[in-house]
DNA sequence: TTGAAAGCGGTACCAT
DNA sequence: ATGGTACCGCTTTCAA
């Protein structure tokens, strides 16, 4: 906890060093560096020369303290190696950098305590916004928890942004950037149904996860729309990973029920399902069709390339950052009684080669 | 005009607010919060109650300025969505969090100017270390550039850490964490050769990229060791992406040369190569064998699962952070027998199902 | 044990 | 156009 000054730290030049060496006042140096105030060409050159000589950079902490400072966004996610999250992070980071903002990243490992600790840590950093990525469990508790985060952050002049998570009910100062999750699943299931599939194995994800629930609902609605009875017995819940896809298919192949297509909750799950099918000597899509969700690069790297639902992850990240940036600039006095904007982006089916009409023997 | 002028609403609560409301001095509050100084139980309780009431968190910038502060690592990489990089980042971030450190992330988009700007930005932040990920181009300039970064950072009490990049020559204050890149390629090529392959299409990566060069060298050495002439005409340089793998194979299939195996520079390139082979009606591995490099999750999601070289990316990240943390704490007394400046981790071949002896008609 | 006060490195307002 | 200087919020002597 106690951080002593480290050896070389004494060597870092300060604005006073620069002022002295250039024979000017600190105020002048500050002006030259900020560039937001008229300064004589002569002074500017004198100062800049010393700055280069000393390899001086301003101390960001001091600057923040004094009022200025670089706005910073914090991106908190479950796991940075998840392709979908990584794309959102890229969108946020890219948009942040474009505006000269900084990005902090933290991973929660799906641990509520770590999430709380990180939110507080970010609050200490005085970040302009905290972006939370990914689906959520436990709706009731989630709502309470996030509302608390939102207010806490808001009191510190920061903004909570929920990306790909349920938006908050009531009068809570937060921004939500979402995608048409259920609609995407509806379209994807419809695609399968219109190809003639009726017995489809559904692997929506974890039963308690918000995104999984939405995808399942979308699929159900599609079945209804097609006048096909949706059989709950065809659903297998589990994590968004390839192992789950593999096991679920392997087991269904062994113990039934019979199916002609797999509707996977994510592309990664679809990849696992594909492996299991192959291992059983089945061809995709000749014998069984598969579709995924997310449209991460993996989808087009598989053979056959996966028909899936495109989710604009990177764009969501960009949009999220833009939203807080706008709020920050335009903001000012009007943030009373606003229950947080709620932006939702569209999804669409990307047809590739993993679906064929069922061939009944 | 909103009339919300409730206590402390004019921004976030400061240590003075807490002190006042608790009827104690700011010094006492500071002591209670830092916890590194004896304090009466009574005082502690009084202060903590107010802290909770006000939902107070210390201002990290002020704390840093005053000498305390959370150590922060900056991770700079080309692109956060690259699986290999993401795993290194995960390792760094995880190890950092474990120690209560913070992680900043920046992406350079392979632009030297952005890299420079980011290094300076991180220097402003007073980060404990700047971790640079990924291969490097242009050896001579690279050496100069990095040496400059290293010294600049060092003068500010920060440490430059190069991960998966060439180490620096001469007496430069930097730490390198690397893996046995050439050795991995040597082993991988040997695997192919020992299976009987002699005509192998080599897709090492960009000609100027350090990792690509190492992988190519490793392959060449393996050919020599097997007494097989290495034909430069079998090499196709290009980026580490699936498109390059696809095009290179497609073109070789059309215009020659003939080959029975593909030695790809990364798993992603291998994925592209596999697609091209399939598109041409060739089977993997019956007609053509393929091997990759990196062992990212994709390798085992492909069909057939890819035989590849495992690189301990996440561990490298952990090791990198540990190295700087040790350096920071140890200050003078470092662990004996360990050269903390250049660490290199091992690689090994992971045999899966993408290789078979060649079948010559 | 607790309090008062001197910085830490900048910024910006007030003079000149 | 410059210089002087009072803060920003916190940590850490130095006294009491």
What mean pLDDT is predicted for residues B191-220? 97
- Residue A241: per-residue pLDDT: 97
pLDDT tens track for B291-305: 999 999 999 999 999
- Protein residue nearest nucleotide C13, by CA to C1': A27
- Residue B329: per-residue pLDDT: 78
What mean pLDDT is predicted for residues B65-88? 92
Confidence of residue B116 (pLDDT cuts 50, 70, 90): very high
What mean pLDDT is predicted for residues A210-234? 97
Residue A340 has pLDDT above 70, yes or no: no
Would you call A274 helix, strand, or coil by DSSP? helix
Q: Which residues, 6 or more positions from B104, have their beta carbon under 8 angstroms from its beta carbon? A: A102, A103, A104, A105, B72, B73, B74, B75, B122, B125, B127
pLDDT tens track for A24-66: 999 999 999 988 888 999 999 999 999 999 999 999 999 999 9
Strand C within 7 A of B37 CB: yes
In strand D, which positions have an atom below 7 A from any protein CB? 1-5, 7-13
B window 55-114: Cβ near strand D (< 7 A): 58-59, 62-63, 65-68
- Residue B37: per-residue pLDDT: 86
Phi, psi (deg, nearest 5) at residue A236: -125, 115
Answer yes or no: are the C-beta atoms of B298 and A326 closer than 8 Å: no
What mean pLDDT is predicted for residues A199-226? 97
DSSP for B167-225?
A: PPPSS--EEEEEE-HHHHHHHHHHHHHHTT---EEEEEE-TT-HHHHHHHHHHHHHHHH
- Protein residue nearest nucleotide D3, by CA to C1': A25
Closest CB from A57, A70, A89 relative to B123: A57
pLDDT tens track for B244-268: 999 999 999 999 899 999 999 999 9
Strand D within 7 A of A26 CB: yes
- Determine, for residues A301 and B268 on separate chains, whether the beta-carbon distance falls below 8 Å: yes
Please tell me the distance from the alpha carbon of residue A202 to that of residue A189, in angstroms, as a whole number: 10
CA distance A317 to chain B (A): 13
Instruction: Identify the CA nearest to B119 among candidates B161, B169, B59.
Output: B161
Instruction: Identify the CA nearest to B285 among candidates B224, B358, B210, B209.
Output: B358
CA distance B303 to chain A (A): 7
pLDDT tens track for A194-206: 999 999 999 999 9
CA distance B17 to chain A (A): 14
Residue A338 has pLDDT above 70, yes or no: no
Which residues does chain A have within 8 Å of residue B65's beta carbon, measured at their own beta carbons?
Answer: 59, 61-62, 65
Q: Which residues, 6 or more positions from B99, have their beta carbon under 8 angstroms from its beta carbon? A: B71, B321, B325
Phi, psi (deg, nearest 5) at residue B252: -65, -35
- Residue B338: per-residue pLDDT: 42
Locate the chain A residue with the closest alpha carbon to B109.
Answer: A94
Total residue count of chain B as it appears in this document:
361
Residue A137 has pLDDT above 90, yes or no: yes
Strand C within 7 A of B67 CB: yes
Which nucleotide's C1' atom has the smallest distance to the CA of A56? C9
Confidence of residue B340 (pLDDT cuts 50, 70, 90): low
pLDDT tens track for B2-20: 222 233 334 689 999 999 9
- Residue B35: per-residue pLDDT: 85
Residue A71 has pLDDT above 50, yes or no: yes
Confidence of residue B63 (pLDDT cuts 50, 70, 90): very high
Q: Which residues, 6 or more positions from B52, have their beta carbon under 8 angstroms from its beta carbon? A: none
Answer yes or no: are the C-beta atoms of A73 and A321 closer than 8 Å: yes
Please tell me the distance from the alpha carbon of residue B90 to that of residue B178, in angstroms, as a whole number: 16
Which residues does chain A have within 8 Å of residue B274's beta carbon, measured at their own beta carbons?
Answer: 303
Å from B26 (CA) to C4 (C1')?
10
Residue A280 has pLDDT above 60, yes or no: yes
Running DSSP on this structure, what letter comes out for residue A186? H
- Residue A67: per-residue pLDDT: 80
Confidence of residue B69 (pLDDT cuts 50, 70, 90): confident
Please tell me the distance from the alpha carbon of residue B293 to that of residue B349, in angstroms, as a whole number: 9
Q: To probe the interface with B, which of A81, A275, A279, A306 has the most B CB atoms within 10 Å?
A: A81
Which residues does chain A have within 8 Å of residue B154's beta carbon, measured at their own beta carbons?
Answer: 8
Instruction: Identify the CA nearest to A2 among candidates B53, B21, B260, B70.
Output: B70
Angle at alpha carbon of residue B24, lines to B18 and B27, rounded to 5°: 80
In strand C, which positions have an atom below 7 A from any protein CB? 1-5, 7-13
Å from A167 (CA) to D16 (C1')?
56
- Determine, for residues A55 and B1 on separate chains, whether the beta-carbon distance falls below 8 Å: no
Please tell me the distance from the alpha carbon of residue B280 to that of residue B289, in angstroms, as a whole number: 14
Answer yes or no: are the C-beta atoms of B243 and B217 closer than 8 Å: no
Please tell me the distance from the alpha carbon of residue B109 to that of residue B107, in angstroms, as a whole number: 6
Mean pLDDT taken over chain B: 91
> Who wins on pLDDT, B277 or A100?
B277
- Residue A360: per-residue pLDDT: 62
Phi, psi (deg, nearest 5) at residue A10: -70, -20
- Protein residue nearest nucleotide D5, by CA to C1': A27
Total residue count of chain A as it appears in this document:
361
Size of interface A-B (CB pairs under 8 A): 187
- Determine, for residues A301 and B271 on separate chains, whether the beta-carbon distance falls below 8 Å: yes
Structure-block tokens of residue B19: 């002190």
Angle at alpha carbon of residue B287, lines to B284 and B289, rounded to 5°: 55
């Amino acid at each position: 906890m106690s951080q002593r000054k480290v050896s070389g730290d004494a060597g870092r030049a300060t604005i006073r060093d620069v002022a002295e060496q250039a024979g000017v006042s600190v105020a002048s140096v500050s002006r030259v560096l900020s560039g937001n105030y008229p300064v004589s060409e002569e002074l500017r050159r004198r100062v800049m020369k010393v700055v280069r000589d000393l390899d001086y950079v301003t101390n960001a902490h001091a600057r923040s303290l004094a009022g200025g400072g670089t706005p910073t966004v914090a991106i908190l996610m479950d796991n940075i190696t998840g392709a979908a999250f990584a794309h959102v992070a890229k969108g946020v980071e890219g948009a942040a950098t474009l505006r000269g903002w900084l990005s902090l990243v933290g991973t929660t490992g799906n641990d509520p305590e770590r999430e709380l600790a990180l939110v507080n840590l970010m609050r200490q950093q005085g970040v302009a916004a905290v972006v939370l990525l990914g689906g959520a469990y436990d709706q009731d508790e989630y709502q309470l928890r996030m509302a608390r985060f939102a207010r806490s952050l808001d009191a510190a002049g920061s903004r909570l942004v929920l990306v790909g998570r349920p938006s908050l009910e009531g009068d809570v100062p937060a921004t939500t950037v979402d995608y048409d999750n259920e609609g995407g699943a509806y379209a994807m299931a419809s695609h399968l149904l219109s190809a003639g599939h009726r017995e489809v194995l559904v692997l929506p994800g974890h039963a308690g996860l918000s995104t999984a629930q939405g995808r399942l609902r979308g699929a159900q609605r599609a079945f209804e729309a097609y006048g096909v009875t949706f059989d709950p017995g065809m659903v297998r819940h589990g994590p968004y990973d390839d192992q789950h896809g593999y096991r679920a298919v392997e087991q269904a192949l062994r113990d039934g029920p019979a199916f002609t297509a797999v509707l996977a909750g994510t592309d990664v799950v679809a990849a696992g399902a594909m492996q299991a099918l192959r291992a059983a000597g089945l061809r995709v899509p000749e014998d069984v069709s598969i579709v995924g969700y997310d449209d991460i690069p993996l989808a087009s790297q598989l053979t056959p390339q996966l028909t899936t639902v495109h989710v604009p992850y990177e764009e969501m990240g960009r949009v999220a950052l833009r939203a807080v940036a706008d709020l920050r600039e335009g903001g000012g006095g009007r943030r009373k009684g606003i229950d947080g904007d709620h932006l939702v982006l569209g999804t669409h089916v990307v047809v590739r080669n993993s679906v064929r009409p069922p061939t009944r023997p």
